[in-house]
Amino acid sequence: MARKFFVGGNFKMNGTLSSIKEIVENLNKSELDSNVEVVISPPSLYLLPTREHLRKEIEVAAQNVFDKPNGAFTGEISVSQLKDSNITWTILGHSERRTILGESDEVVSTKTKYATDNGLGVIWCCGESLEEREAGNTISVITKQLDSLKSKNPDWSKIVIAYEPIWAIGTGKVATTQQAQDVHKAIRDWLKGVSDKVSDETRILYGGSVNESNCGELSKQPDIDGFLVGGASLKPAFVKIINCHQ
């Protein structure tokens, strides 16, 4: 079955009201490949104005969400609050939250389970550090992250996986097409252990220094179903990345 190509833009903690307005206006007026699913993820403060002004075919994602319905959880946002604001996706498990904010596999998996069970799409991130890659542990690190997720029995139909080698994030050091394809294939094979259907249908995105020059080759790989773009999603060239898949 053909998986719909997916391009996410993760603004991280970047942007202002005016710069995000410019990004939204640029996306609104651009011709975008209708075979590509596009989701952009501004900082939480800008979710609502982004949703309000962005063309409807593009969805909006939070960069994080909590696993409780409401209550005394200062600084957190709930799934129902996002859905109430027409925010239909969230990113979870980004390496910056795992390493800087100390989110464990258990925390990420629990939040993913809660979000998917309550109808939110999740861009679920995994990836290895440079030391782990150099020690030959890439697949075992990713398998551990995936095993933790599987143990919670999430709704896989709501999950898009983003493979993001930490050493390629924001460094300009993109993984080679072969390095990326190899890991994506390993993830696809691992997904067969959940079910053939999940393996066939789940999109696996690549993230890490994707730009308008390297996206074409990466997009030709059989197990690369899209991108999670950081820095380049803040630039007009993001449109070229959306349209790079032939």
Ligand X SMILES: O=C[C@H](O)COP(=O)(O)O
Spot the catalytic one: 128, 132, 164, 212. Answer: 164
Is residue 174 a contact partner of residue 206, using CB atoms and an 8 Å limit?
no
Write down the catalytic residue from 37, 59, 94, 128: 94
Minimum CB–partner distance for residue 78 and ligand X (Å):
22
Closest CA to 220 of 182, 181, 189, 179: 181
Active site residue 94: yes
> Least CB distance from residue 64 to ligand X, whole Å?
12
Minimum CB separation of residue 10 from ligand X in Å reads 4
- The residue (of 27 and 168) whose beta carbon lies closer to ligand X is 168
Please give the backbone phi and psi of residue 200, each rounded to the nearest 5 degrees, phi first. -70, -35
If one counts every other C-beta atom within 10 angstroms of the C-beta of residue 73, the result is 12
Answer for the pair 141, 163: CB distance below 8 angstroms, yes or no.
no
HSE of 25, CA atoms in CB hemisphere, 13 A: 6
Q: What is the DSSP string of 140-208?
A: HHHHHHHHHHHHT---GGGEEEEE--GGGTTSS-PPPHHHHHHHHHHHHHHHHTT-HHHHHH--EEEES
Q: Which is nearer to ligand X, 2 or 63 (CB)?
A: 63
| Min dist. Cβ of residue 230 to ligand X (A) | 2
In the complex, the smallest distance separating the C-beta of residue 96 from ligand X, rounded to whole angstroms, is: 7
CB of 14 or CB of 88, closer to ligand X: 14
Please confirm, yes or no, whether 184 is among the known catalytic residues: no
Buried b (16+ CB within 10 A) or exposed e, 91-116: bbbbbbbbeeeebebebbbbbbbbbb
Closer to ligand X at the Cβ: 68 or 226?
A: 226
- The angle, 0 to 180 degrees and rounded to 10, between the axes of the packed helices 105-117 and 138-151 is 50
Interface residues with ligand X (CB under 6 A) are 10, 94, 164, 169-170, 207-210, 228-232
DSSP structural state of residue 114: H
Report residue 35 as tokens.
């075979």
Residue closer to ligand X, measured from CB, 154 or 231: 231
What are the catalytic residues? Answer: 94, 164
